[in-house]
A and B are shown apart, each in its own frame.
Chain A
Amino acid sequence: MTPPETIQDVRSHPFFKDLPEQVVEAVLSLAKERDYAEGAWLCREGDPADRFFLILSGTVAVELHAPHTGKRRIQTLGAGDAVGWSWLIPPHRWQFDVFTVRPTRVAEFDAQELRKLCESDHTVGYYVTKRLLEVVSRRLAAARIQLMDMYA
């Protein structure tokens, strides 16, 4: 059982902003709050995407590695951000490495349980998918601006 103050922390995450109360309750019932030390991995490219994270505090870096250019840090995410959508979309494999660059507190969800909830209650499924789509859309827009090399 997650202590009540923990739930409060997670409930105020922007991912839940303006969602219907019963959806928030259902999703929150699966949340586990967890602390990661600096340098811990949340996801590794190619591994099964078995979790979903909402960052409560701290910073994580998203990295991609290529054989010749090595690791490339693409982005950092912090409090208020969501990490990962691969858990929802087959084949459920991470597409990036994500690790903490500072001690980080997250709300963590078991992907299988969350998928099961979304499948069994399509109202929850709809809102979770819609919210994730907003996250994806914002990230895509940011990536496009970044591609323009706008400070050059």
Chain B
Amino acid sequence: MGEPTAQEAADLPAAIMPAVAPVLPSFVRVLRVRKDTHDTWTIWLERPDGYPDHRAGQFNMLYAPGVGEVPISIASSARESRTRIAHTIRRVGAVTRRLTSLRRGETIGLRGPYGSAWPVAESQGADVVVVAGGLGLAPLRPAIVELLARRKRYGALALLYGARTPADLLYTAELGKWRSVLDFQLLVTVDRADRSWHGHIGVVTTLIPAVTFDPQNTVALVCGPEIMMRFAVRDLLDRGVPARRIYVSLERNLQCAVGFCGHCQLGPKFICADGPVFAFDEIAPYFSVREL
């Protein structure tokens, strides 16, 4: 083993934990609604007064009056706008149904930003590999925007994105733009497609061997359904990326967002108060990876 590089020596934090946000919601207007896929919408909300600059990976609690409140990741970067905040929402139940039926001008409750963040600034000088599955691209989007905005400060950059079918791909216009960014390895794959699709077919983990990066000096950001993260993490470890440099976002159900209710407890950790972004070595025992 040679000398550790500067990046290896500078210990990456277990989780990036910005200041705690207020517990009471502000009421904000819906500024724009876009349908992304058959079950997913992006809504832009006005930024409340006094709302701090959020970090990539954090979430807000969105409250649909009379229906309920749910955690939703922030899909935009604070760099992009000081007046609005984007959320990409999949319609799965009562609250998300209401949130995805909102029209421009309607009002909902928002509190946040909460939770830990992706180590974007902390990864400068390293290679960064982003692995997203399905809706997992939403909380990674602000990280990608920030990485690309300061492209020169990073080594190799790659985004591996998998979805069920081509029709389930999020942010297709933006993917098109990212594809033309020099020095950015963007690989997209789907599980099923007809012949009109000329891209990759196969699970997102099959893309990992196709990207160029230096495993020891790589930070990996992984988000998607837990089963996908499990296999992606395993393959990244196999490739030689250290467990403490692999970050995952656990978006399991949570309620209070401030560590009171215990609903989202994972071993000694609370996803809401300690997460959702964790360094993998921290949560490995509670994550369903058996072979390490």
Q: Which residues of A contact B (CB under 8 A)?
A: 14, 59, 61, 71-76, 78-80, 101-102, 142, 145-146, 148-152
Number of A-B contacts (CB under 8 A): 63
With A73-B193, A73-B195, A78-B210 as contacts: A148 and B227 at CB distance below 8 Å: yes
| B249 interface hit (Cβ, 8 Å) | no
Chain A residues near B192 (CB-CB < 8 A)? 72-73
B227/A75 in contact, CB under 8 A: no
B206 closest partner in A (C-beta) = A142
| Residue from A61, A79, A80, A142 in contact with B203 in the complex, judged by beta carbons closer than 8 Å | A142
Chain A residues near B200 (CB-CB < 8 A)? 59, 76, 78
Q: Annotate B49-92 by CB proximity to A: 1 below 8 A, 0 otherwise.
A: 00000000000000000000000000000000000000000000
Chain B residues near A79 (CB-CB < 8 A)? 210
13 pairs across A/B with beta carbons < 8 Å? Answer: A14-B209, A59-B200, A61-B201, A71-B195, A73-B201, A76-B199, A78-B210, A79-B210, A101-B198, A142-B206, A146-B191, A151-B191, A152-B225
With A72-B192, A80-B210, A150-B133 as contacts: A145 and B203 at CB distance below 8 Å: yes
A-facing residues in B193-227 (Cβ within 8 Å): 193-195, 197-203, 205-206, 209-210, 224-225, 227
Complex interface: stretch among B25-33, B107-115, B143-151, B160-168: B160-168
A142/B209 in contact, CB under 8 A: no
B201/A150 in contact, CB under 8 A: no
By secondary structure, the A interface counts as: mixed
With A72-B192, A73-B193 as contacts: A150 and B227 at CB distance below 8 Å: yes
Q: How far in angstroms is the closest Cβ of chain B from A81? A: 9
A152 closest partner in B (C-beta) = B164
Chain A residues near B202 (CB-CB < 8 A)? 75-76, 142, 146
Q: Which residues of B contact A (CB under 8 A)?
A: 133-135, 162-164, 168, 189, 191-195, 197-203, 205-206, 209-210, 224-225, 227-228, 231
Chain A residues near B162 (CB-CB < 8 A)? 151
A27, B192: Cα distance in complex, Å: 35
B210/A151 in contact, CB under 8 A: no
Chain B residues near A59 (CB-CB < 8 A)? 200
Instruction: List 5 A-B pairs, minimum CB-CB distance, nearest first.
Output: A151-B134, A76-B201, A151-B164, A145-B203, A150-B228
A73, B191: Cα distance in complex, Å: 9
A75-B202, A145-B205 given; 18 more Cβ-contact pairs under 8 Å: A61-B201, A73-B193, A75-B201, A76-B199, A76-B200, A76-B201, A76-B202, A78-B200, A78-B210, A79-B210, A101-B198, A142-B205, A145-B228, A149-B164, A150-B134, A151-B162, A151-B164, A151-B168
A98, B228: Cα distance in complex, Å: 27
A146, B163: Cα distance in complex, Å: 11
Chain B residues near A76 (CB-CB < 8 A)? 189, 199-202
A151/B133 in contact, CB under 8 A: yes
Most buried by A among B203, B209, B225: B203
A151/B163 in contact, CB under 8 A: yes
A10, B112: Cα distance in complex, Å: 55
Q: How far in angstroms is the closest Cβ of chain B from A58? A: 12
A130, B46: Cα distance in complex, Å: 59
Chain A residues near B198 (CB-CB < 8 A)? 101-102
A74, B203: Cα distance in complex, Å: 10
A148, B134: Cα distance in complex, Å: 14
Chain B residues near A61 (CB-CB < 8 A)? 201
A149, B190: Cα distance in complex, Å: 11
A146, B206: Cα distance in complex, Å: 11
A151/B201 in contact, CB under 8 A: no
A146/B195 in contact, CB under 8 A: no
Most buried by B among A14, A59, A73: A73
B225/A150 in contact, CB under 8 A: yes
